[in-house]
Amino acid sequence: MSIPIDLLLNAIVAGLLLGGFYAAVTVGVSISFGMLDVVNIAHPAFIILGSYIAYIINATFGIDPILAALIVLPAFYVLGQAVYQIFYWSFEKRGEEALRGLAFFFGLLFITEVMLILVFGVDYRYVHALYIGPTWRIGFIDLPLRMLVPCVVSILLVVALQMFLSRTFVGRAIMAVAQDQQALRLLSVDPIRIKRIAFGVSIATAALAGAFLIIIQPVEPSIGREYIGRIFAICVLGGMGSLPGTVIAAVLLGIIESLTATFYGPSWAPAVAFGFLLVTLAVRPAGILGR
Amino acid sequence: MTQPLLEIKGLSKRFGGFVALDGIDLEVAPGERLGLIGPNGSGKSTLVNCICGTLQNEAGSVRFEGRTIDGLPANRRTHLGLARSFQLPRPFVSLTLIDNLRIPLIYTVAPRAGMLARTTRQMDERCMELLAMVGLDSRARRWPRDLTQVEMRKLELARAMAAEPKLLIADESMAGLSHSEVEDIIALLLRLNGQGITIILIEHIMRAVMSFSQRIAVLVSGRKIADGKRDAVVNNPEVVSAYLGQ
Amino acid sequence: MRAATFVFIALVVGAIVFALSLLARNEYVLFAGFVVLQYIVLATAWNILGGYCGYVNFGTAAFFAMGAYSTVALHKLGANPGRYLAGTFAEALIPLFPLSIPVLVVIGGLVSGLVGFGMGYLTLRLRGVFFAIATLALAVVLQTLIINWDFVGGSRGAYVIRPDSIALGPVSLSYIEYLYLVMLSLAVLALCVARQIERSRLGFGFATIRDDELAAEASGVPTLRLKLIATALSGALMGMAGAPLPYYIGYVEPAAAFGLPYAVNSIAMPMIGGTTSWVGPLIGAILLGTLQQIATVTISSVVNLLIVGVLLVAFVIIAPKGIVGLLQDRWRARLQP
C-alpha cells in the first residue's frame, strides 16, 4: 500500500502542532507529579475551568482568550496554593496521601465537572479570535493558525518555566525539593512553602492550557477526562519532571495520535493515548530521558 | 573450607550516573558474625538491598548456599532463608504486634515446611515466644504506634527472626539508642548467633561493631577497602584515614 | 463468628429483605432497591482492592461496563446464533442460547476479572499511583473500543428485550422481581467474600501490602501475586454487578454503562462508610445509594452527583476512617470515661 506523501507530511505537521499544545497541558503535571510527587489527577479539571473562564471573558468583553488566560493567571496561582495547603494539612502531614489524597483529587475533578454542568450545561462552548479560521499554506502543508498559535505560545511557556526553574533561587529550590527536603531545611528554606509555590505555578499553567484547548476545539465539561490518560502518559514518558522530556514525549504522542486519526479515523485517538501509557508503564517506567 | 553461606562476586549497582556499588566481593561463612561498616553514603544499605532483592544488581552475582539468587524477588529470598531488619523500622501499622510476627509465619515458614499452615494455636505460641525474646510479650495485642523507638527496632528484629532465617542482616538496628539499649540489642544478636544464625551487622556505632563482630568489612564510596579479622581491620591505615578523613 | 455462621446469617437477612421488598407490592421499591444493591456489590468489590490493599481503582465503570457489554454481546449472539456461529462447535453451542442471567453473571465476572488481571499484570509492579492512573485511562479506552464495535451497537447503543416473567420452579416472578433477587444474591455473595478475606490469611497479606510493601516482601509475602488476586477478584465482582444491567434498563449505550457515577460512588461509598472492614462499604452504599434514589426524584440527578462529590471530599479530609471509624471512636470513648 502506498501512502500519499502529502497526507503523511500533513499528518506529521498536525501532530507536531498538537504536541506543542499537549506540552502546555502536561507541563503543570510534570511539576506537581514529577517534581513534588503530588498526584494531582484533577489537573484536567483545572484546565477545563481555564477554558470556561477564557470563554466567559471572551464572550463578555471580546478579549482574546490567551490574553484572558494571562489576566486570570494570578488567580489560578492563588487557587493552586490554596489547594496544596488543604492537601498538605489533610494528607501529606498525616502521611495518608496515597489512598485518601488520590480520592481527594478525584473528588475535586468530579465536583468541578458537575459544577460546570450545573452552570453551563453540556453544550459545547467556543471562543472567537482572529486566528481561529485562517490557515497558512506552505507548499502542500497546511498550518491552521488555531493550532499554530497555541503551539507557539505553549513552547514559549515551557521555555519560560525552564528558565524559571534553572535560573532563579525559588526555581532551583523547587527542583531540589523532591530530591531532598532535609537539605532545604538546612538552608532555612521551608519546603512546604516551596511546594506551595510550585503547585501554584502548576495550576497557573492550567489557565493557559485551558485557553489553548478552547481555541483548538469547542469544549464541554466532561472532555477533561479524555486528557487524563494523555497527560500522565506524557508526564511518565517524559521522565517525570523533566520539562525537555515532557516536550519530546508530548510531540511524540501528538504525532502518533495525528497519524492514527488520519489513517484509522479520529474515534480511535483516545485509545492511542492509553496504549501509549500502558506501553510506557510496562516497558520504560523511567521515561525516554529517564534516570 | 566449607561452602560460604553467602557469596557475592563483582556486585555493581548504579543509579543514573551515580555508582553506588562498584565490584563488591564478599563471602560470609555459616555461623559467622560479620560487621559491615562505612561512612554515610558508602553503599551499605544499597548492598543490603541488592542481597535481599529489594534492588536488583546490574552486574555480578549473589549466591546463597551455593545457589545463584540474582533476579529472584525479595519474597523468594526470604523463603530461602535470608532475613533483614530495616534501617528505619517498618512495622505493619494496622496489625497488632502478634499479627506483625504472624506474617512471616504464614507466608514464609509454613510454605517452606511444605504445609499449608500450622494451627493458629501453634502460631500464637511461636509469636509469643518471639515477642518474649525481645521483651514485648506483655504488649502482644497493642499496635506498633504505641511502641518507643527501641521497642520498634526490637519488633523489627523479632519479625525478621520469625522467618526462621539462616542469615540475618541487621541494618543499623542501634542508631539513636542509649548505651544500655545498645547492650540489650547486642546481647540479643549474640544469643541468636549462638543458636546458629549467621549475622551481618551494619552499624555506625563502632563500640557495638567491635564487641559484636568476629570479622569486619569496610565500604567506602561503593568499594570494599578492607576485610578481615576485627583488630587488623580497625588498625588498617586506609580504614583509619577513610574514617578520620570524613 | 465462624464463616459458615456468617454466611447463614447473611442468607437469612437476604431472604428477609427479599420478602419485605415483595410485600411492599410496589415496583418502584424494587427498581430503586436494585440500584442500591448494585452499589453494595460495587462498593464492596472496590474495597477489596482499595480498602484492603490500598490500591485505588478509578475504573469501576470500565469493569462494570465490561460485564454489561458481555451480556449485550451474548444476547445479540443468542438472538440469532446460527448467523454468527459456524464450524464444528456451532451445533453444540447453539442449543445453549439464550443464556440465563446467572450464567451471564458468571461470564461477565470472568471477562472483567480477566481485564483486571491483565491490567494489574502490566502496572502493579510499579508504584500504586501508576496503577490508579492506568485505571483512569482504562475507562476511556474501553469506552472507545465499545463505541467502535458495531456488533454491540456502537455509540448508538443496543436494545435488550426482556421477557415479562420467569418461572423459578413452582414460583413465577415478574422480571424485575427476578433481577432484584439476582442482585440481592450478588450483594450477599460479595459481602461474604469480603468478610471471609478479612478474617483469612489472605486478608493479613493484603493488610501488609497496604501498610508497607517492602516490609511485606521482606517477610516473604508474594505481594505481586496477592495484588493480582485482589485486582482480579475485585474486577470480577464489578463485572458480575454489571451483567444484569442490560436487562434492567432495557437499552444500553456506552455513555450510560461507562457513566462516571459508578466510578465516583464506588470510591465514595467505602470512603464514607469506612475502608477497613466489610461493614463500611455496606453502610456507605445503603446511605449514599438511598440518598441518591431520593435526590434523583426530588431534586435532579446532577445535583445528587454533586452531593456525592462533596461528601467524598469532606469525609476524606474530616473523617478519614469513615462512619465506622467515627462510631468506633465514640464507642471506645464511652468505654474509657
ipTM: 0.89
Residues from chain A that touch C145, judged by Cβ atoms under 8 A, are 271
Mean pLDDT in residue range B110-126: 76
Residue A279 lies in a domain: no
Q: pLDDT digit string (tens) for C192-250?
A: 999 999 989 899 999 999 999 999 999 999 999 999 999 999 999 999 999 999 999 88
Query: What is the per-residue pLDDT across A178-219, written as a single tens digit (0 to 9) for each?
Result: 777 666 776 777 888 999 999 999 999 999 999 999 999 999
What residues does B226 pair with on adjacent strands? Answer: B218
CA distance A197 to chain C (A): 22
Split into its structural domains, chain C has a count of 1
Angle at Cα A125 formed by Cα A120 and Cα A130, nearest 5°?
145
Across residues B108-117, what is the average pLDDT?
Answer: 74
> What confidence score (pLDDT) does residue A290 get?
46
- Is A280 within the bounds of a domain? no
How many CB atoms are located within 10 Å of the residue C298 CB?
A: 9
How many angstroms away from the CA of C54 is the closest CA of chain A?
Answer: 6
**Would A59 be classed as within a structural domain?**
yes
* Complete domains list, chain B, with CATH: 6-92+166-244 (3.40.50.300)
Residue A2: the pLDDT is 65
Q: Identify whether C313 is part of a domain.
A: no
Residue A66 CA to residue A212 CA, distance in Å, equals 7
The overall average pLDDT reported for chain A is 87
Q: Which of A4-18, A223-237, B138-152, C53-67 has the highest mean pLDDT?
A: C53-67
Residue A221 has pLDDT above 70, yes or no: yes
Is the CB of C207 inside 8 Å of chain B's CB atoms? yes
Does residue C230 sit at the A interface (CB-CB below 8 Å)? no
Domain-embedded: residue A12: yes
Range of the domain at A208: 5-225
Q: Once rounded to an integer, what is the mean pLDDT over residues A142-160?
A: 92
CB contact under 8 A, A103 and C316: yes
Contact criterion met (CB < 8 Å) for A102 and C305: no
Cα nearest neighbour of B109 on chain C: C220
Are B91 and C219 a contacting pair at CB < 8 A?
Answer: no
Q: Which among A90, A106, A236 has CB closest to C267?
A: A106
pLDDT number for residue B82:
93
Mutate to test the interface with A, among C47, C127, C133 (most CBs of A within 10 A): C133
Residue A89 located in a structural domain: yes
Does some domain include residue C115?
yes
Label residue B245 by pLDDT band (50, 70, 90).
Answer: low
**Angle, in degrees to the nearest 10, between helices A224-237 and A5-29:** 90
| β-strand pairing of B18-28 with C158-159 | unpaired
**C286 found inside a domain:** no
Q: Does some domain include residue A118?
A: yes
Residue C299 at interface with chain A, using a CB cutoff of 8 Å: no
Residue A204 belongs to a domain: yes
Q: Taking 90 as the threshold, does the pLDDT of residue C151 lie above it?
A: no
Distance from CA of A186 to the nearest CA of C (A): 29
Chain B residues with beta carbon closer than 8 angstroms to that of C212? 90-93
pLDDT at A97: 64
Residues from chain C contacting residue A277 (CB–CB below 8 Å)? 133-134, 137
The reply to whether C159 falls in a domain is yes
Chain B residues close to C218, C-beta within 8 Å: 52, 54, 74-75, 78, 83-84, 86, 160
Residue B24 and residue B13: Cα distance in Å, rounded? Answer: 10
Asked if residue C283 belongs to a domain, the reply is no
For the segment C8-54, what is each residue's pLDDT rounded down to a tens digit?
Answer: 999 999 999 998 988 887 888 899 999 999 999 999 999 999 999 99
Chain B residues touching residue C276 (CB < 8 angstroms): 94
- Is A229 a residue whose pLDDT tops 90? no
Q: Is residue A281 part of a domain?
A: no
Give the model confidence (pLDDT) of B158-204 as tens digits. Answer: 999 999 999 999 988 787 778 888 888 898 899 999 999 999 999 88
The stretch A163-178 carries a mean pLDDT of 87
Of the candidates C123, C148, C310, which has its C-beta nearest A267's C-beta? Answer: C148
Tell me whether C210 touches chain B (CB under 8 Å).
yes
| CA atoms of A174 and A177, how far apart (whole Å) | 5
Instruction: Read off the pTM.
Output: 0.90
Average pLDDT, chain C: 88
Domain range for C209 is: 3-259
d(CA C221, nearest CA chain B) in Å: 5
Q: What is the pLDDT of residue A291?
A: 40
Span A4-30, average pLDDT: 91
Answer yes or no: is pLDDT of C79 > 50: yes
Please state the domain count of chain A.
Answer: 1
Grouping H, G, I as helix, E, B as strand and the rest as coil, residue B19 is strand
